[in-house]
Amino acid sequence: MFYNEQGKHVRTKKEIFDENGNVRKGCKIVKKGEVYERNLFTAKDKLFKQENFVDEVKHFYTDLINLLVKDDKEKLHVFDNSRLYLATKKIGKNNPKAEQIQTDNEMRMRWNCEVDRAIVSGVSETEIQQIKKKYITDRIRESVDIFGSQPERLGSIIMTAVTALALLISKVLDKARELSAKLFEKETIQPVAEPNERRTTQVIPQTDKIPMQEKITHKEPTANPSSQKQELQAKTQTTEQEKPKIPPKPVMSAEATAYPKLLKIYKELNRQNGIIFDAERERNELELERDSLKGFAKLTKKGELQSRIERKNEEIDLLKIGLSGIVKRYGFQTVHDFYKVFSVSKTANAEYRDKVDKWEKQYGEKAQKQEESISKRLQNYQRENADRQTKQTSKSRNRGAR
């Protein structure tokens, strides 16, 4: 092997010899049997082939990239396979399996849209996770064990999972509709009391603001009315001093302040879900009409009904995609992420309302007015009582003088 001054391999000796036939300075000859190349790297570590290492590196580099991204909407996210959704694959340039990956991605997106709708409809996360495990992950393992690697079977597996989830959604929605109908009937049909019916409750008229115990006059005269006045003044001063300090009004947290905005998104999602439910009901009616056709009508109307059903299915698919579009418009990655934030905000808002209600009952304007009115009534009563006692003592002294 012959190498020139730059360390490049050349074919013949003449290329490294000078005019006198000697090897030029910087050139070298590696004789036959000698080592002409050395591998400086050791054998690959098995750690680099493990999935845990790949996930760790993904998270590390996404966090590193997100440090430079200012807008929260443009930040990257690592997909979590343990969640409810299915990941879609990226189609590179000149990929021979582009059509197959495209069809797989469409089926995965159908599952993801159905998951969005299930969350909006009130299906629990555990039930969706069970359907995903039973109809997707377990079925894929069984298919690989029996038939080997056949990616074309993925579409049929996902479709069975989508139909199972759709059946669960319809059951949940039907139960919710029945419940709301029953509640509406209870609210509308209420027993109305007749006008001639007498009530058993007795209303005690308040003639005087002073209670009965306060009206009782003391017949025994007191010795020193001036000392009584001083004692009453001392009592009123101590009651004023013993008033508890009013704590500050509860402050709304960041989660509770976001609740009104999140509630609007929640209502918008429910409105969209109601439109999907109505569209599915119309499609089911068309399917029943198509299946009930007989005789000559089966030949004439079947094609028209089938085209209407297909158009309705396309409309339903677009409406389901619109659910994820609503939350993405407000900066959320998925419907599941939005519902997590919404539940936290809802509980925080409820806790804040309870605290405010308790504070208003104890230290609000109404409570303060009641305390002021009670203290005024006590002071008036004490003054009237002192005046009565002074009058009685003066009368008794006059009688004794006579």
**Which tokens belong to 250?**
């509860």
CA distance 352 to 249: 10
DSSP secondary structure code for residue 23 in this structure? B
Looking only at the bridges linking them, the beta strands covering 28-29 and 9-10 are unpaired
Q: Computed from CA positions of residues 363, 368, 369, 375, in that sequence, does the dihedral angle turn out positive or negative? A: positive
- Closest-CA residue to 329 (of 269, 273, 277, 274): 269
Tell me what pLDDT residue 402 has. Answer: 58
What three-state secondary structure class fits 225? helix
- Closest-CA residue to 290 (of 275, 276, 310): 310
Residue written as tokens 């069975």?
Answer: 160
Alpha helix (H) ranges present in 17-153?
51-66, 98-121, 125-132, 138-147
DSSP secondary structure code for residue 198 in this structure? P
CA distance 124 to 268: 20
In this prediction, residue 256 has a pLDDT band, given cuts at 50, 70 and 90, of confident
Give the tens place of pLDDT for each residue, 259-296: 899 999 999 999 998 899 889 889 988 888 888 888 88
Give the tens place of pLDDT for each residue, 331-386: 888 899 899 999 999 999 988 888 888 877 777 666 666 666 766 777 777 777 77
CA distance 235 to 239: 6
In this prediction, residue 111 has a pLDDT band, given cuts at 50, 70 and 90, of very high
In this prediction, residue 62 has a pLDDT band, given cuts at 50, 70 and 90, of very high
What three-state secondary structure class fits 28? strand
Please give the order of strands across the beta sheet that includes 2-3: 9-10, 2-3, 28-29
